[in-house]
Structure 1
Amino acid sequence: MDHRGDRTVSTLAPNYFDRRFDDLLDIGRSRLPSLAPGWTDHNLHDPGITLLELLAWVTEAQMYSLSRMRRDERAAYAALFGLAPRGPRAASGYLWLQRLPGSSALGYTRSLVLDAGALVHPEQSDSPAYRTVRKQLWVAGQVGALYTRLADGRVLEHSATNERGNVLFLPFGERAGARDVLAIDIVCPVDGGLFPARRADADGAVITIGVRADATSGAADAAGEPLALAVTLASGAARHALPVVDDSTDGFMRSGALVLDVSGVAGSPRQFTLEIRAERGFARPPRVSRIDLNVIAVRQGRLVARELHIASGLPDQLLRLRESGLEFDAAGEPVMVEVAEDGALHAWRRRPGLADSLPADRVFALDTAQGSICFGNGVNGRIVPPGAQVLLSYAVNDGAQGNAARKQRWVVRGIDGVYGVNPLAMEGGRNGVDHLDQRREARRRAREEHALVTGADVEAAALALPALEVARAWALAGGANGVLDLVAMRARPAGVEPDDASGTAPETARWLAAVERRLAPRLPLGLRLRVLAPRYVVFGIELRVESADGYQESALQAALGATLQARLALVAAHPGGMQRALGLGVTVRDLAAWVRQVEGVRRVLSLRLFDSAGRALDAVATPRLGLPKLDLRASVLSVRRPAQAEVR
């Protein structure tokens, strides 16, 4: 070890940045005897030595440039990773209407229109200041009933569960197919309707359906592609297709709002039903705890409209934005510049630099780091005339300081009293990204977002898809014709195996296609991915046991069922839990051994296995890609008390 000051430097890992051309050449030449024993001419005239000198020179130049990279070079390298500087991001969230003391929102009997940009702030403070995102039609009505119409004709009622707001339910059923429909009955007051008294006031306005989804599912890009939701408004015999303007729920997979255009609805129905379905079904069934009407999307920040500056008429004039926190990113124009000339307003265009501009070009350059605007000098870009009015319009926000805690009471301009609360935190506010943040993100992407080369890479990437809930994955070796087979299993909510006597796999074709779609772009060229579901072999058990003294039959029967479910679990109920190996069958001997280990079992009286058709089995044989699936509902588990001793 080498001690230098207060630092300890390991001599086992030399710092190659200290090496120069001669050092690198000596290192390369010293490796030749072991790497190329037949190469004996190491003199300068040898072409191989010349090539080695060239490589040493290139290496020295690269090491020099890495430690002395300019900021524009760093930005160019960051662009290779898809990274670009951006301004602060605004926090956002949703306000849900609740019956709060002092709130008169529910007292409205006619629908209202909230303009985009309406001020929103906490009840007891004016900050942080939020604004409504879009022009919204606030419907004076409530959800009367909420239910699911399944493809097989069954109806699942969710109204009571939805009203509680703290219990998860499946709004599209367990299969969540293309023909499963979520229906929301909405009832308006007697003297009201969908639209306000002046229908023209609602032109361009939208209605919103709020969704509070399962927070344990992670990010919600489950389908790997935009999910096409079809929404229909039914009122009596009339039916109107409602275009989906925005869906921040990603198909009911995360909390957000479904934004609907109702401009095509005729009349102003007082009672109507919203029917929602996925045109191609869902990758996995959504799980939500609350669905409601009139959720308001809000965003932190404000718009600075036509900030006035007076031009000096000097070349290269510099104007600074009076408000900090400029919003900008790689796309879009962060600042709109208008200059009053010759009795008219002229829009000026932004350029990355003014060196290539002509003398008459109305252009400017924006320095986002300094928050300043530079105009031309008469040679490179036009000079702003002296005394001319310069109007700057831009958006600003408070970045991370604009985030707000959950469950606050909020006031919305245009609605009397307290409107409601934000059940989830107002979040997403982040400060701007500079070159240090870009370097940190580039290193993370280079380390984590690499190509999926090995089977272990593919398995790990599949398990890292939280929205798709991949619980188990096996990459199969020996794929032919450049095809890699991946067997994947979906997680079981609460560790419960779907109780389906038909043996239908929870891994639907759409779910398998979604997993494949997410992983395929990361595979090397020439390798294709095929995602398969395991083959489930359904079987049942007829079991009769005799209990020990002092054990109740019902308690012992429940313990037997729990033991069998745990031993034959296909997906572990918790990390590190027991789960069945792929391709491993079940024998009568296995079952008897597990049953005898249950506390309270004196002896096994009889044990029989049978398949889904009721035929007796000696063992449950599974194919290579198969798993045994116990149908506990079709099984019979009986417990007999111990026989009484005979009296002599």
Structure 2
Amino acid sequence: MPILPPSLDDRRFDDLVEDLIARIPAHTPEWTNPRLGDPGRTLIELFAWMGDALLYRANLIPERQRLVFLKLLGMGLKPALPARGIVSLSFAQETELGGHTLAPLGQLKAAVPFETLAETTVLPISAEAYIKRRLSSAELAKKSDVLHGLSRIHNISGSLKGYETTPVFAGGRAEPAGFDVFGKSADRALWIALFAPKAPKPEDQPATNIAAKAAMGGGDTGLPALLSVGIVPTIKAPTLFEQVSAPTSVPVMWEMTTRGRTERETDYLTLGVDGSTDTSKGLAVAGTLRLQLPDESLIWAPSNDVGVNPRAGVGDVPPRLDDAERASRLVGWLRLRPKTGENVTHLSLSWLGINAVEIDQRVTVSGRVLGSSTGAADQVFQLPLPSVDRDSLVIQVEEAGRGYQNWYRVDDLAAISGDVNVAREAPAYELDAEAGTVRFGDGVRGRVPEREMRVRLAVGRFGGGRAGNLPAGSIAELTARRIDGRAAPAIKVNQPLSLGGGEDAETLAIAEKRIPAMMRHRDRAVTEEDYRRLSFEAPAIDVGRVEVMPRFKPRDRRFNVPGVVSVMALPAATLAPAPNPRPDRPFIERLHAHLSARTPLATELYVIGCEYVPLGLSVAVTLREGFARDKVLLEVREALRRLLWPLAPGGLDQKGWPLGRAIRSRELEVEVSRVAGVDELRGLNLFQKHNDDWQKLPAIAADGAQILSLQPWQLPELLSVIAVDGPSAPTDLRALPNPFADDHAVAVPVVPELC
């Protein structure tokens, strides 16, 4: 039987009223009519209401005991996690021609609070990315005469490599599927054109360009500006059983064009990357980096006018821009290319932009007095908001003659130190991040703040939740201050990609469900069930299914390997047509990091996805009278999809199709027969993909039964299913004949007569 918290007294208001009325004859026999509205009956109901309230409070004692039990286990509720992302900034007024370095924690206008995470410099320039796209064989053949003429014009004696200037991430938009900026280019380089703002009058454009260059070079400050660049590498699902490790940096270099020996020659300056602020880890993950720009006197771009510069776009120079308006605003070029000697042939990016900054879903509170100490032990102070970021929290306590002093956070006041004297005088506090409370010691385990001394929140960041997972284009404005404290000009925000990673705070009901698992594994992965339960507790990912395969080495497809544990995990998803859910690289990296910190030292841990085997089905049924044909056939297809779905409610036990279980046609036929409206099953065929074509599986018995065998690490993926109302199941999935066509006649169009 289930273990439920007992109710100390299960009587309610009505029970108390009936009990009191039943006692009237024994105590006041002269009161013979206790009807509704009678003053005595009103007093009875009043006391019953008060008694019901007292019983409700008494019944909360088991609930309180459970909360105390959670605290004894050290199982505080998990705080909310913030959504994160990258945005690019620009001045709202194009007349703004100065560079402004913004302080972190600027506030963005959105449905929920967001703030910038780091210092960033907004320059009065915009950027557009281009590649020199290689021409295809067909294009080369078509333009052979043109290329031959160009080789004579430019006096090129060697081979000619034609290209087409192609914009990438046009209009600041992202390419979620990714774009290989090195693999698709003729010179393995990404070119970023830097443009000054458009001047009110064409004749003022040269002066505007000079002002933009001055802002880039630092102007009269003598300190060149830092250009903030946002990078989002394309996130793809890892190959089957690929060993996912920490992302490695890409060996690339950033360069800027400068004037060569003559007006027609282009040289390049190598730009340094501020390593302390490179959150992209060398273009390995989504993040920002800051490039150290040269002095404005060195910033230069070659002319795109072939009348002035006949070799514009020829050779190892930036691509030629044929748009006269853009060319008039061009102030410089950035080039991203592999380092010399490094064999980097591909770089897939989803987005790149300048004036970029990372943001997250939090709000900063500072300088807030939480209260005054009473001098008692175990004092608890409430922070202004729940779900606090532990790393950003700074708590200060006032001390006589010294002012506010920083105290430090510990996970458990009872475990500060084994030395009694050290523990007694430790200026420490304990934090409940989800509830937003801080607790001080009792004089034995942690110092007690002196009486009437104030406790202050120096700084802390709060927030998070699924509400912050906003789609692209949800944020448009930023309110920020410069590093000198003055207000920054009005700033526009371009949000090219959706924000993700936000999770709601853990509820008490969910935390209570973790009690049995915590008692079993104590946050250590030893048994298969430990790995499974810990996987579902991984932060910032939504795990839908976990299978633990002990002693299985994925890359070798080999079992019985001592010391190896493989965890197959799939992200949560709703039942839908193909494709089936697949884990991407961040999903596997986060789950691996969560589990590896909890596995024994000698365990060789792998976190993998599953291998899907393509499957096609065709089924023929006859229908019962009174049922709609299209609806029944749709339900037949959905029943088969639901049965073969890898997550709940799929599978035979509604927990997903079992890993490695063979697909038997007879089991599928039973599922089809259960669909309401199916009168008779006329046939069912299984198909397997072979060289991009479907092949019917052979029968294994005289009655035509089929089976698709799977390896222990495989699951089926239903890519095609055809259900028909007819005498037999189709034997070809590529095309379904039109039932209304006439096999004995040829359709011929007739031209109508016109008056």
Q: Normalising by the residue count of structure 1, what TM-score does the alignment of the two structures yield?
A: 0.50
